[in-house]
């Protein structure tokens, strides 16, 4: 998507995403944990969408063989956009003129807005060119090309019109420099990641099957809790050395033998503390020892201004 956005919308979108997981007053450790949570959320959402793409059967709205083929190669969101273009081609697109110029077939078609568009088909290179530029902008086949494909009695979408962004395979092609046909469509899948995706698929499959059944849901949660204790070792009491080793492994550093940096000492600044009541002030004054005044010669808590003898 970065190649399709040319304004500050990229940074704004990233800021909105990370604000869901981070706070302005977080320290470095909290920031790293929140960053990992954000990435885990993206991976989980991606796995959920992959599961839906490979296990959801889309509903076809036309009898076109092209729509049936599109439902097998495009993701759920991409197929919905493609399906609307196929419906547009079936219902509203009509041909205006057809001409042959050398090895090129030039189709002029009219859409529902009464606007003419040109589609060129090269018989020598078996390629298509179109004036609306929709495929070049977002990688989706427009209704004008679908009309031409239906007119040529084609049942499969040509490989050069598949694009790369909307296919079911994960991140099959880069979008920063356009759609490159030299990049392989399918990538090598790591076994660990494949097992992780299969685990997600099994979980969503079971959750869908037991939805609405309270007894099965409680039984499944109990099985997950027991499996969590068994796999993660939760419930076991760790010793002090094991806890210290776990913390050191988490931070990636060991506790130094000599600590030079300490927290600052707490000082009593001016004005700190709570206010005393009048009774507390008098009790504090009575607890102090008296002093002897030079003019009257008595020990007390007065001075020369309020002495009774002067």
Q: Average model confidence (pLDDT) for the chain? A: 79
Q: How far apart are CA 49 and CA 167, in angstroms?
A: 12
Place of tokens 């962004």: 165
Nearest in space to 118 (alpha carbons), one of 145, 92, 139: 145
How far CA 133 is from CA of 77, 102, 104, 130, 137, in Å, comes to 20, 23, 18, 6, 6
* Planar angle of CA 205, 209, 211, nearest 5 degrees: 115
Taking the model in full, what pTM does it have? 0.46
Rounded to whole angstroms, the Cα distance separating 122 from 103 reads 6
Partners of 74 in the beta sheet? 167
Residue 273: partners with Cβ closer than 8 Å, 6 or more residues away:
none
Q: What is the pLDDT of residues 51-85, one digit of tens each?
A: 877 777 788 888 888 998 998 888 888 888 999 99
pLDDT digit string (tens) for the chain, length 310 residues? 444 445 566 677 777 877 888 877 888 888 888 888 888 888 888 888 878 777 777 888 888 889 989 988 888 888 889 999 999 988 888 888 888 888 888 999 998 888 899 999 888 888 888 888 888 888 888 999 898 998 888 889 888 888 777 888 654 443 334 444 443 433 344 677 778 777 877 887 888 888 888 888 989 988 888 888 777 766 666 678 878 888 888 888 888 888 888 888 877 776 666 778 888 888 888 888 877 777 777 777 777 777 777 6
Residue with tokens 């931070």: 251
- Cβ-Cβ contacts under 8 Å for 54 (sequence gap 6 or more): 168, 201
Half-sphere exposure of residue 230, counting CA atoms within 13 Å on the CB side? 6
How many C-beta neighbours within 10 Å does residue 208 have?
9
């Amino acid at each position: 998507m970065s190649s399709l956005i040319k304004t500050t919308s990229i940074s704004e979108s990233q800021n909105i995403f990370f604000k869901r997981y981070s706070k302005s007053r977080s320290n470095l450790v909290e920031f790293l944990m929140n960053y990992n949570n954000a990435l885990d959320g993206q991976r989980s959402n991606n796995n959920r969408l992959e599961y839906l793409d490979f296990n959801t059967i889309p509903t076809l709205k036309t009898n076109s063989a092209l729509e049936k083929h599109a439902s097998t190669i495009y993701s759920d969101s991409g197929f919905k956009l493609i399906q609307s273009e196929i419906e547009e081609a079936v219902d509203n697109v009509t041909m205006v003129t057809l001409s042959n110029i050398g090895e090129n077939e030039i189709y002029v078609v009219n859409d529902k807005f009464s606007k003419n568009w040109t589609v060129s088909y090269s018989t020598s290179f078996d390629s298509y060119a179109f004036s609306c530029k929709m495929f070049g902008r977002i990688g989706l086949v427009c209704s004008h090309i679908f009309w031409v494909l239906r007119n040529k009695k084609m049942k499969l979408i040509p490989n050069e019109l598949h694009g790369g962004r909307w296919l079911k395979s994960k991140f099959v092609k880069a979008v920063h420099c356009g759609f490159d046909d030299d990049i392989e469509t399918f990538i090598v899948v790591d076994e660990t990641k494949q097992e992780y995706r299969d685990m997600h698929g099994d979980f969503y499959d079971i959750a869908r099957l037991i939805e609405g059944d309270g007894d099965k849901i409680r039984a499944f949660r109990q099985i997950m809790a027991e499996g969590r204790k068994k796999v993660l070792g939760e419930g076991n009491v760790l010793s002090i050395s094991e806890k210290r080793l776990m913390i050191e492994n988490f931070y990636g550093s060991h506790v130094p033998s000599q600590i030079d940096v300490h927290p600052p000492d707490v000082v009593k600044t001016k004005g700190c503390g709570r206010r005393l009541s009048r009774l507390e002030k008098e009790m504090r004054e009575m607890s102090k020892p008296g002093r002897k005044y030079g003019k009257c010669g008595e020990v007390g808590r007065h001075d020369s201004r309020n002495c009774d003898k002067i």
